[in-house]
């Protein structure tokens, strides 16, 4: 019973994130910006330390927007008429989002902008990036894409139901990454079998339909292949 409550806590948290993407225009903008920055990070071959700073900045913005959404919901629940304190609460929460966004702009300017000067944007093979960096960024983009997909289809939560299947997307994304990194047929076969078992578990539990599982698998494969191709693998 305690394990069920523990798992449900993740489901509720994911539901809150998906709701914020569905209802908040700024959250959609933040998610689009996060995907763009992560894509640039792969293409520009940033270091592990730089990726950690960028990832923290992205997380900070999303967290601030989530708090802002929660505060707005609570204020609207308890305050039916105009009240100056309600306006203050909303303004302060919005101010926190603004500061987090400005921080992310400064981070992007310091880390990414100098690399763009005189940079030629062509998708030719490049020096191979650190495998861990490419794999992590690919999986993060897969997770973000799943969240956006579930938000726009307005069905299910991140970890249960909805289009596409998040578990399947991450499983096939990881399997694709392992295949591209090792080039070993045995590793590729084992990782594919494990991904298929994850997909089957979502169908067997009747959490997802066949279409949702197939969509998740294709999303994980295509996004991961695109990120690795962008990095020159």
Q: Could you say which of 50, 65, 129, 212 is catalytic?
A: 65
Q: List the Cα angle 35/128/186 in 5-degree steps.
A: 95
Task: Give residue for tokens 């695109």.
Answer: 226
Catalytic (active site) residue 65: yes
Q: What are phi and psi of 178, to 5 degrees?
A: -60, -40
CA-angle at 169, arms to 233 and 47, nearest 5°: 40
- Residues sharing a CB contact under 8 Å with residue 231, sequence separation 6 or more, in sequence order: 42, 43, 45, 126, 128, 129, 134
Which single residue is written with the structure tokens 């400005």?
A: 102
Q: In this structure, is the dihedral angle defined by the CA atoms of residues 110, 113, 116 and 117, taken in order, positive or negative? A: negative
Q: How far, in Å, CA of 4 to CA of 1, rounded?
A: 5
CB 67 within 8 A of CB 96: yes
Residue 187 CA, distance from chain mean position: 26
Q: How many CB atoms lie within 10 A of CB 53?
A: 15
Q: How many CB atoms lie within 10 A of CB 49?
A: 9
Tokens describing residue 176: 């694709």
Active site residues: 65
């Amino acid at each position: 019973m305690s394990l069920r409550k523990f798992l449900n806590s993740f489901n509720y948290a994911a539901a809150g994130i998906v709701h914020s993407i569905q209802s908040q225009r700024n959250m959609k903008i933040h998610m689009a910006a996060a995907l763009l920055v992560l894509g640039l990070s792969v293409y520009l071959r940033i270091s592990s330390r730089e990726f950690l700073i960028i990832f923290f900045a992205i997380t900070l913005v999303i967290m601030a927007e989530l708090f802002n959404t929660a505060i707005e919901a609570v204020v609207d629940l308890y305050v039916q008429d105009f009240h100056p304190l309600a306006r203050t609460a909303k303004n302060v929460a919005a101010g926190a989002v603004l500061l987090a966004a400005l921080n992310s702009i400064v981070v992007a300017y310091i880390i990414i902008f100098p690399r763009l000067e005189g940079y030629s944007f062509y998708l030719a093979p490049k020096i191979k990036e650190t495998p861990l960096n490419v794999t992590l960024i690919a999986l993060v983009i897969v997770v973000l894409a799943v969240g956006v997909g579930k938000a726009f289809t307005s069905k299910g939560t991140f970890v249960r139901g909805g289009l596409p299947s998040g578990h399947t997307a991450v499983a096939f994304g990881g399997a694709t990454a392992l295949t591209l990194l090792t080039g070993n047929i045995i590793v590729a076969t084992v990782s594919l079998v494990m991904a298929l078992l994850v997909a089957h578990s979502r169908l067997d539990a009747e959490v997802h339909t066949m279409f949702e599982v197939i969509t998740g698998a294709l999303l994980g494969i295509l996004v991961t292949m695109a990120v690795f191709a962008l990095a020159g693998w």
